[in-house]
Structure 1
Amino acid sequence: MHLLDWFLTRLETDRQRDVIRRVTAKNIPALFDFNEAVTYRWELISEELANNYEIFQVRYARQSSTTERYQDAQLRLNSLAEPLLRLWLNRPEISEEQLAWQKAIDLYAADSAEQRKVFHQRRIDIPGLTPNQVVQGLVAVGNHLQQGFSLRELSARCFLGNSKVLDRRYDLLAQLYGADAEAIKARPLLLNVWAPVAFDRVLIVENQDSFLRLYERPPTSCALLYSGGFRAGAQRLLSEHTCFSFLPGSDHGYFKQNWPPTQAHFWGDLDYAGMSILRALRNSIPTLTAWRPGYAPMLSSLLEGAGHTPEQAKKEEQTDPLNTGCDFADAEILPALRMTGRFIDQEGFLINEGQG
C-alpha cells in the first residue's frame, strides 16, 4: 500500500512527467528484508500489480550474479490505472485548484503545523490572486501583527498593495494567529455630522446628496448624520472607535453629550437595502424609526405607479428583511414594496425646510 500511495501522490504532484520508482533498499525496503518472504512480495508487484492489473511496467536493470533480479529495476506507472488506484486507496481525485493550494501551503507555510492545519481545512479563493500569493500574504501578516495596523493597513502591506483583501477575514486571522490577532487595530467608523445648538433628535441619512440637501435646509431642531449606507458598520455605531467629522456650524460638545440619542430617525432609499439598514441600526439605537416626512412622499409616489424594478437598477440581490422593528416600516413601507415589486431612491425627493 505504501508503494501505491507513493505513486498516486507523485502523480498528483507533477502530471507532466512519467512517474517512475526505482527498486532499491531505500525506496522499497520490504524487498530487501531477507528475513521475510521477499520473493512472494516481488511476485505480488511483478505479476499481480504489473501483469494482471497493469498498474505499472517493470523494466529490469542488468544484474550481477550476487544481486536480486529486481535490484535497480524501474516501475513505471501506467496513468490509465489512476482510477483503480484511487478506488483501492480510497483517495478521490483532487482538483487542479486544490493541488495548487496544497503546493502553496507546502511552499510558504512549512514552519507552522497549526497554520498548515488551518490552511488544509479551509481553502481561500481570492479573485485575482494565485494560491501562492494568498498563502504567502496570509503568512506575511504575522510579521506585522505587533505594529498596531488595521486590517486595511495589513492587507495593503501583504497583498500587492490591495487594502481590501482582508475585509471580513478577521476570523481567519484569529484562527491562524490566535491571541496575537487581537493586536489588529479596529478600523474606526467615520461619520459626517451636522449638529445645531440644542437639537432634540438625530436624523440618520443613507445617501450623501440627500444628506447635503438637508444640511442646506435642515429640519427644525434636528441633527443630521450621514450613514453612507453602512449596514456592515451598524453594529459599530456606538463603538469607542467611532469617529465624527463635524460640518461647519455644528455644536461639537452638545452632540457628544447627547450621543447616543434618545430620539432618532432614519431616512434612506425606499428599497429592501434601506429597510435592512434601518433594522441593523436599531440594534444600536432601539428607538430608531423610519422618518415619516421623508418616506411618506416616496411611499405615495410608489403606490401611484412610480419606481424602478430591481432589475433596472441592479438590485436583484436585495432581500426582504421581513421586519425592522419599526411600526411604520413594518406596517406600511415593507408591504408596499412587496406589493409593487418596485423601488425608489431617496435622491429624487427634496424635503421642504422645517419639515420633520
Structure 2
Amino acid sequence: MSQPLWLVSEPIQSLLRLVVDRLDAAEVRGAEKAQSIALGERTWPTLYQASFESTKEELWEHVIDMCRWGWFDVRPSTAGRSLSGYSQAPRLTVINVAAVREAVNRPTRAKGAGELWREAVAAYLQASTESKRTATGYCIEIEGRSPRDIVECLNQLPGLADSGMLLREVSSRLFWGMSKVLDSRQALVAAVLGLDECPFPESPIQLQVMLPTGQMQGVLFIENLMSFEKAIRSGSSVYQGLALVYASGFKATAKRLRSAQGVSLFYARQGSLAAISHETFEKWLFSDSPSLPAWFWGDLDWSGMRILRTLRETFREVGAWEPGYAPMRAILLDGRGHQPEAADKRGQQPLASTGCGYADAQLLPLLGRGFVDQELFSL
C-alpha cells in the first residue's frame, strides 16, 4: 500500500510518536502491550487546539483511515465512524505495532545504557545471582566498547585478586589502559569477587610534612600549597612545636590517611629528619586515640569550612587554627573581604556547622559578609 502524504505531516507524526513512546514505556515495564491512549488536549494538542473545526475533522479522518488499515482500534466505536468522533473522548489501542513503528522510523526500541548494562551483566558476568544484582547498580560506559566487552573485563578480576596491585593498576590492566574506571566502584569489585571488601587499595595519598626540630606539640593541616611553602620557610615562632602538613583540599580528608597503606609521607628538609620525630608523627597519624592536638588552617570561605568539617570526620581532634583565622576574621569585620562572584566562588554552598566551637561561633557567622583567601597572610 502506497502511503499518503498526510502520514508524514507533523500533526500525524506527533500522534504516532506519542503512540510509539507509550509502546517503548510498556516494553521497559515488561508489559506485553501498551495501554490504550486517551486522546485530548494534553496528548494530541495539534488537533484539540486547532482553530478551525474543519482542521480537526481532517485530522480525525486520518485517524479513521489508520483504523481502517488495521493499525488502530478506537473506542467508543461510534468515534471511528464520525468526522467529529474526536469529541467523544476517544481512546486508541495499537493493533499493528510494526506498521506504526515503521511510520515513524523507529522499528525497534532504542535501549538505554542502564538497560543494556543489566542485560550484559545477566548474560555474561561470571558471578552469583546476588553478585549480579549488585553489579547492575554500577553501570560502566566506555566509548567504543560494548557492555558485553566491559563485563568480560570484569570476569578477569579473580585472576588479579592476589596480585597486591592498587585499584587504578587493576583498572588499567583490565580496561584498555584506563586507570580510573573502577574509582568509586569498590563495591562492584567486591561483588564480582564474592568478597566483603575490595582487595585492591586506592592509590596512597601523598602527604607533605615538615616536623618541628624540638618537641612536637601539635599538628597543623594547611590547605593551600603556597601557604604551606611560606610556613615551612618562615621561621616564625607561631609555628613552634607544630608538625606542618600540606592538606590539599578534600583529598586530605580521606579516611585512608589513618592507614599506613593509604598514605605516602614526604618529609621536608627544612624540619627535623630525625627518626624519633618521624616515629612520633606517624604514631599520631595512624592511631585512633589522639595523642596530640591538631588544627586546620585554610581559606575563610564556605569551601574551607567544609574541609574542616569533613577533616573532623577522620581526625576528631581537629579544630580551626585561631592564630591563622583571627587576622582573616578581622578583615571581614573591617569589611575588606571579597564577594564570591569576585573570585569565581559562586557555587559554594553555606554550611550550618563544622563541629568546631571556634569556627561555628566566630567564623561561620561572618561569611555572609565575604571571603578571605589564606594566601594573603604570612605569619
| TM superposition score category, shorter chain reference | 0.5 to 0.7
Residue 243 (structure 1) aligns with: 264
TM (normalized to structure 1)?
A: 0.64
Residues 81 and 203 of structure 1: CA distance in aligned 2, closer, same or farther (over 3 Å): closer
In the TM superposition, residue 314 of structure 1 has moved relative to its aligned partner by 4.3
**Could you tell me whether the CA contact under 8 Å between 2:135 and 2:188 is conserved in 1?**
no
Q: Who is 1:206 aligned against?
A: 223
Residues of 1 paired with 2:141 and 2:112: CA distance? 16
Large movers: runs of 4+ above 6 Å: none
Change (3 A) 1:319 1:115: same
Aligned equivalents of 1:126 and 1:304: distance in 2? 52
Give the whole-Å Cα distance in 2 for the aligned partners of 1:205 and 1:157: 36
> Following the alignment from structure 1 to structure 2, what is the Cα–Cα distance between the partners of residues 126 and 321?
34
SS of structure 2 residue aligned to 1:237? helix
Residue pairs, 1:94-173, within 5 angstroms: 95-102=111-118, 104-105=120-121, 108-109=124-125, 113-120=129-136, 122=137, 124-126=139-141, 132=147, 134-173=150-189
> Distance between the aligned counterparts of 2:268 and 2:142, measured in 1?
38
The Cα of 1:333 is off from its aligned counterpart by 0.9
Match of 1:179 in 2: 195
Query: What's the counterpart of residue 257 of structure 1?
Result: 280
Query: Among 305, 317, 320, which residue is 1:290 paired with?
Result: 320
2:377 to 323, 346, 349: 349
Q: Is the 8 A contact 1:203 1:225 kept in 2?
A: yes
Aligned counterpart, 2:304: 274
The two structures have a TM-score, normalised by structure 2, of 0.61
1:207–1:229 contact (8 Å) kept in structure 2: yes
Equivalent position of 2:5 in the other structure: none
Q: Distance in 1 between matches of 2:191 and 2:150?
A: 15
Consecutive unaligned residues in structure 2, runs of 5 or more:
1-22, 28-67, 73-95, 103-108, 285-290
Q: 1:135 to 1:335 in 2, by over 3 A?
A: farther
Residues 55-111 of structure 1 deviation map (CA, whole Å, 9 limit, x = unaligned): 9xxxxxxxxxxxxxxxxxxxx9624279xxxxxxxxxx7744345435644675367
**Which residue in the other structure is 1:329 paired with?**
359
SS of alignment partner, residue 195 of structure 2 = helix
Deviation string for 1:144-202 (max 9, x for gaps)?
22211121211222233222222222122223322175422354333111102223121
C-alpha RMSD of matched pairs (Å): 3.6
State the AA in 1 paired with 2:260: E
CA distance 1:330–1:111, shift in 2 (3 Å): closer
Where does the alignment leave 5 or more consecutive residues of structure 1 unmatched?
Answer: 1-7, 13-50, 56-75, 83-92, 352-356
Change (3 A) 1:101 1:230: same
- How many residues in Structure 1 have an aligned counterpart in Structure 2? 274
Aligned equivalents of 2:138, 2:264: Cα separation in 1: 36
> Alignment identity in percent?
35
C-alpha distance 107-269 of structure 1, shift in aligned 2 (>3 A): same
Alpha-carbon offset, residue 279 of structure 1? 1.7
